[in-house]
Structures are given as structure tokens and as C-alpha cells.
Amino acid sequence: MLLSEVFAGKSGIDTVVGEFHTKTVVLTAAQIDALSVTPVEIIPAPGAGKVIVPITGLAELAWETIAYIDNGAASPGCTGSIKFTYTDDTGTNVWAWLNSANFLDKEETVTAALPPYTHDGAVLQIGGVNAPVVAWGSSDWDSGDSPVSITLVYMILSTTV
């Protein structure tokens, strides 16, 4: 069933289409250091005929003693970031990026909002049916020892295609 069919003739009436889900994962310093070669699954694949739709999120770097050092982008044309994509490092962006310059290199505990990813106001493209969401790094980091807690709020909706 299409969303337009679900809402047909129901102007002004609240309709439950799906449920909000929350997933929290704590990335260790070792995982962050390896993100450019080893993505970490944040949300598992939702199942056949279903898609993960981002709502919002929150990230917190829990400062320990050593800031992360960005050793340069592992992906051409990218600045060092933790990115959230469908499936793997080649998938469609899902949530906003956590950049080195305003998050990972901080020498204090810092919290950042993670809205759904948009590029210059463009509509978010859902990146595939039954696709997990992963965190990966567009850079190689050294030295950091602070864990990063990622909490993502999302819905799982059925598709018709």
C-alpha cells in the first residue's frame, strides 16, 4: 500500500503508519581509528520489503585524554568525517556527518545533533530496501581515546516496490 493510499480521505486525522525506533551504539576508540576500512553496523537490515527512514539523532564524544588527529581523507574529495550510510561506504548518506574539525578533534565532551542528511536542501533519497545503516570514516584517525555514543531515531516502513 502506498502512503498516499493510507492517508487518502483522512485530511486532519492522525494516522499511525509506523513506529519510532531508537538505537544507541558506543563506538570505541579502536573502532573509530579503523572506520575507514571497517564500517560499524548501527542499525541492522530491517527485513524484506522494508526501509529505514531517519528521523533524528544525537552523538556525544565523551572526552577522555587525547584528541583524534585527522591524517587526511581516505576518500578523495572528502574531509575527515564519520558518515552514516545505507549498506556500506558507497551507500546513500542517511544522517548528517560528524566532521573532524568540529567534533572529533575537540578536547572536551561535546554533543551534536544528527538530523537526516540533506545536500543543499535536497530531498533525502532512501538508499535501498532491506539495507542496514553503517558508520564509516572518510579519514584515518590516530591517537584519540574518547568513545562516541551514537543514538539514532528512525522508522521502518514497508515499501511497495
Number of independent structural domains in the chain: 1
Burial 25-51 (b: 16+ CB within 10 A, else e): eebebebbbbbbeebbebbebbeeebb
CATH of the domain at 130: 2.60.120
User: Does residue 115 lie within any of the structural domains?
Assistant: yes
User: pLDDT digit string (tens) for 13-38?
Assistant: 445 556 899 999 999 999 998 888 89
pLDDT in tens, 36-89: 889 999 999 999 989 898 999 999 999 999 888 777 644 444 457 888 988 887
Do 125 and 51 meet the contact criterion of CB atoms below 8 Å apart?
no
> 121-135: per-residue pLDDT in tens?
566 666 778 999 999
- State pTM to two decimals: 0.80
- In-domain check, residue 10: no
- CA-to-CA distance for 58 and 21, rounded, in angstroms? 14
Three-class SS of residue 122? coil
State the residue range of the domain holding 119: 18-158
